Chain A
């Protein structure tokens, strides 16, 4: 019963994904100045936007990596990479942007992501007359597409495509390096307490697979489910990888887990930390995240 419904669920999800992919792929490019974003919203943007507000760290990183950092006039409180981004005017948090702060920067383009920003905020900014371009990076492919899309909107399509080609090449190299090796069972910890792990269809789950591991939470129906420690014990992960933010050590983050002696990963010290900002941001540093994961999962094959 459960297996059957899960099967149907995944089939429906696949169908929806395909349909969405089809829609976005086939949408016409539009007339000059008119574009369609990744949610299928049509909007008019200036030929060469000069005053851009970014509403998420991954977007800020993308703009900088394309060499257009000087066109950003506003970023969120969480945009800390590259370091010069922290010197840009702030417009508030990802989920608590100040509309007034955004407006007073007089942007000619706002870029948002459906994965972190609220639909209500996008709607409100649009109703205030601002062109808001929304990207939708949910997995590996859509993250690459998001970079290309941002490149197109910035008038940097060629640079973005080159970047994406390079990223694919690096990802393929890692895939070749880990090919044929046994696939260790990996528990990735997005947040330790309460325990939140990546579920089905998320970028993190896909990165773990591409790094030669098998995520023990890859079949969870919710993207970021909250799990019990019991589930972790029962799934017997070979490796535990913790996304770290800031200064906390892995030991601090997993305090209390040492008594879970039955998990071989915990018992034998196969618990690793990776930079959470790297892994959790669907942006141009995704390949670095992939490499960091592969180094932990297959240290013998990925230096």
Chain B
């Protein structure tokens, strides 16, 4: 039986792993700052202005954003997988991240600027885009009445392609100068965001994760199929709506700041499920911690490989994620066919 205690212990373990990864991320970068100086800067005893600025203004918000985005995307992935009863679902595969990206692009072009309101507005636009995409995927996939794996993936691919086509349309119609960092942002990057963006992502991620976690037990029952869930007393439609909106919120606020980062939402929940099982009450906290750790490490790698230039972090996650996805698809399809 899953007890509070077991969830607490597991959460503490992943939090410890995340702390180690975070320290590694804080200690890595082109500026020569010793680990001791990093720690000194963290506790407010910086030994130089450079160390203080680099650690507190550049590396820390970046590590925090990576942790929040990784954790949030992984939780969103686990939520979409539970909702669709399909371990191949995630915000990117379902085209929801594409919808969020389009929303953010339109938000950028609509009200570009550095104000806090603009940051919020772009996040809201991305959230709206994510909701539109998620709804579209759902309507396409359930048009036949049921929700088979292939139909869902196909619907996600179609939606994703459509939204990326719209983004391409917008990008080719708009003056390059006005696009600004959008092109770079579209590749997925954690670099430009300061504490303002971190705060918005933190708020959205916290709310979204809490909403999903409150439905953790109901989601377990949904895995039995909608009919059985209803017969066990689950208000299936309401649960699905809440989790749907929460997962779109997570995707929206994160994509608005980081751009689309693929595969985190796919491979983290699946890998964690192999270790701790499918019970969402234990799965979700471990997924959050593991996703955060994964993206912090991936971003550290992205900063390291071609110093002082940087790889888009999505490149690193894709290099880890794509082979894993193919492996999942093969084993999953084999099981279905036999």
Q: Answer whether A and B touch in the complex at a CB cut-off of 8 Å.
A: yes
Evaluate contact between A129 and B53: CB separation under 8 angstroms. yes
Q: Which of B58, B180, B194 contacts A103 (CB 8 A)?
A: B58
Contacts of A64 in B (CB 8 A): none
Chain A residue at smallest Cβ distance from B172: A226
Distance in Å: Cβ of A301 to nearest Cβ of chain B: 34
Evaluate contact between B192 and A92: CB separation under 8 angstroms. no
Q: Which of B31, B59, B184 contacts A101 (CB 8 A)?
A: B31
Evaluate contact between A223 and B176: CB separation under 8 angstroms. yes
Q: Which of A96, A120, A129 contacts B180 (CB 8 A)?
A: A120
Distance in Å: Cβ of A110 to nearest Cβ of chain B: 14
Q: Identify which of residues 27-72 in chain B touch chain A, using a CB-to-CB cut-off of 8 Å.
A: 29-32, 50, 53-54, 57-59
Distance in Å: Cβ of B81 to nearest Cβ of chain A: 33
Evaluate contact between A98 and B183: CB separation under 8 angstroms. no
Evaluate contact between B57 and A128: CB separation under 8 angstroms. yes
Q: Which of A90, A119, A124 contacts B308 (CB 8 A)?
A: A90
Confirm or deny: B8 has a beta carbon within 8 angstroms of a beta carbon on chain A: no
Distance in Å: Cβ of A58 to nearest Cβ of chain B: 15
Give B175-199 as 1s and 0s: 1 = Cβ < 8 Å from A's Cβ atoms.
1110011011100000110100000
Confirm or deny: B114 has a beta carbon within 8 angstroms of a beta carbon on chain A: yes
Confirm or deny: B307 has a beta carbon within 8 angstroms of a beta carbon on chain A: yes
Tell me the complex Cα distance, A241–B191, Å: 38
Confirm or deny: A214 has a beta carbon within 8 angstroms of a beta carbon on chain B: no
Give B90-125 as 1s and 0s: 1 = Cβ < 8 Å from A's Cβ atoms.
000000000000000000000010100000000000
Evaluate contact between A93 and B191: CB separation under 8 angstroms. no
Evaluate contact between B30 and A104: CB separation under 8 angstroms. yes
Evaluate contact between B194 and A124: CB separation under 8 angstroms. yes
Q: How many residues of A contact B (CB 8 A)?
A: 29
Tell me the complex Cα distance, A95–B50, Å: 23
Evaluate contact between B50 and A104: CB separation under 8 angstroms. yes
Contacts of B50 in A (CB 8 A): 103-104, 106
Evaluate contact between B177 and A99: CB separation under 8 angstroms. no
Evaluate contact between A223 and B310: CB separation under 8 angstroms. no
Given A95-B183, A114-B177, A128-B58 contact (CB < 8 Å): yes
Evaluate contact between B54 and A119: CB separation under 8 angstroms. no
Tell me the complex Cα distance, A224–B29, Å: 36
Given A90-B308, A98-B308, A98-B309, A120-B181 contact (CB < 8 Å): yes
Contacts of A245 in B (CB 8 A): none
Tell me the complex Cα distance, A181–B236, Å: 79
Contacts of B184 in A (CB 8 A): 95-96, 118
Given contact pairs A123-B114, A128-B53, enumerate 15 new A-B contacts (beta carbons under 8 Å): A77-B309, A90-B309, A95-B183, A96-B184, A98-B303, A99-B58, A100-B30, A101-B307, A103-B53, A103-B54, A119-B180, A124-B194, A127-B57, A128-B57, A128-B58
Could you list some 17 contacts between A and B, CB below 8 A?
Answer: A90-B308, A91-B308, A92-B309, A96-B309, A98-B30, A100-B30, A100-B54, A101-B30, A103-B50, A104-B30, A115-B177, A118-B184, A120-B181, A127-B57, A127-B194, A223-B175, A226-B172
